[in-house]
């Protein structure tokens, strides 16, 4: 099994002045290395500067989204090749905020994951049910369907991760019970193995949704939880470090 991956998603937050948080994180990890892989995904405007600031560190830099094409007439979009050129090593695709706000479907997410592969980036492919779907008892079925549709077969031989992020837990302070997290992660694992065989057995399955220093150890200790995708608590080095140290 690969080392756990703890990835921070800054979303649409962060100006140049906030690079100090990334530097502080790198300095702390240089002094006392973590047994995990660590990544920060800043907004695209900060990516190159953050990659430069972290070049000598163990902290990887990632994008938050990419277009599926490598270049062209797509005003406002950024390709996987551009992210790689700016210093990214990973990219989040299919985040629920993009699925909800931009109507991204599983096929588009799969195309983005393939674009990441083409550019040499490690995709973090997000899936997760809404509250209505959970309350209807459909969480496992919804998430398995998203995994089947969003994880392309071509990823088999490359590094990738799946992030289980229940939509209702993102930014709300709510988290599923550990039993519920384990049930969904087990379903994701079964689906990945059915689709990809050995590669599906290896890929880390991250949990995301209101991970904080106070709940990180319990969540990261759950069965089949291979890391975390962290939003709000990744903005401050001290909080993010506490989560990394809990892994
Ligand atoms: C996220 O945006 O991926 C996320 C998990 O956010 P938060 O940790 O703030 O819930």
φ, ψ (nearest 5 deg) of residue 95: -55, 145
Confidence of residue 153 (pLDDT cuts 50, 70, 90): confident
Is position 185 annotated as part of the catalytic site? no
| Residue 193 CB contacts under 8 Å (≥ 6 apart), including other chains | 200, 201
Structural tokens at position 164: 């289980």
pLDDT, tens digit (0-9, with 9 covering 90-100), for 214-240: 999 999 999 999 999 999 999 999 999
Confidence of residue 154 (pLDDT cuts 50, 70, 90): confident
Which among 21, 95, 97, 122 is annotated as catalytic? 95
Domain boundaries, the chain: 5-246
pLDDT > 80? residue 61: yes
Nearest atom in ligand 1 to 11's CA? 2
Residue 209 alpha carbon to ligand 1 centre in Å: 5
Mean model confidence pLDDT for the chain: 97
How far apart CA 246 and CA 225 sit, in angstroms, is 13
CB atoms inside a 10 Å sphere around CB 45: 12
Which among 81, 97, 129, 165 is annotated as catalytic? 165
Query: 80 and 99 in contact (C-beta within 8 Å)?
Result: no
Structural tokens at position 170: 């993102």
Residue 229 alpha carbon to ligand 1 centre in Å: 7
Nearest atom in ligand 1 to 126's CA? 3
CB atoms inside a 10 Å sphere around CB 96: 23
Which of the 8 DSSP states describes residue 78? -
Residue 198 alpha carbon to ligand 1 centre in Å: 29
User: What's the CATH number for 5-246?
Assistant: 3.20.20.70
Decide which of 139 and 156 is more confident.
139
The percentage of the chain sitting over the pLDDT mark of 70, rounded to a whole number, equals 100
Confidence of residue 156 (pLDDT cuts 50, 70, 90): confident
pLDDT > 90? residue 1: no
pLDDT, tens digit (0-9, with 9 covering 90-100), for 14-38: 999 999 999 999 999 999 999 999 9
Using CB distances shorter than 6 Å, the residues near ligand 1 are 9, 11, 165, 170-171, 208-211, 229-233
């Amino acid at each position: 099994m690969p080392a756990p991956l703890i990835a921070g998603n800054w979303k649409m937050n962060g100006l140049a002045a906030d690079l100090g948080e990334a530097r502080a994180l790198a300095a702390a990890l240089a002094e006392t290395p973590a047994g995990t892989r660590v990544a920060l995904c800043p907004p695209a405007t900060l990516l190159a500067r953050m990659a430069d600031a972290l070049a000598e560190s163990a902290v990887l830099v990632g994008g938050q989204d990419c277009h599926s094409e490598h270049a062209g007439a797509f005003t406002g979009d950024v390709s996987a090749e551009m992210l790689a050129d700016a210093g990214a090593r990973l990219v989040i695709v299919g985040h629920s905020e993009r699925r909800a706000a931009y109507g991204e479907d599983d096929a588009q997410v799969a195309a983005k994951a393939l674009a990441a592969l083409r550019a040499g980036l490690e995709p973090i492919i997000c899936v997760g049910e809404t509250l209505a779907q959970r309350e209807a008892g459909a969480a496992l079925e919804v998430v398995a369907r998203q995994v089947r549709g969003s994880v392309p077969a071509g990823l088999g031989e490359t590094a990738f991760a799946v992030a289980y992020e229940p939509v209702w837990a993102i930014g709300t302070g709510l988290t599923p019970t550990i039993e519920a997290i384990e049930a969904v992660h087990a379903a994701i694992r079964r689906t990945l193995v059915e689709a990809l065989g050995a590669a599906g057995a290896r890929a880390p399955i991250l949990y995301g949704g209101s991970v904080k220093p106070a709940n990180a150890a319990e969540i990261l200790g759950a069965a089949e939880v291979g890391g975390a995708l962290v939003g709000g608590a990744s903005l401050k080095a001290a909080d993010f470090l506490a989560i990394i140290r809990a892994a």
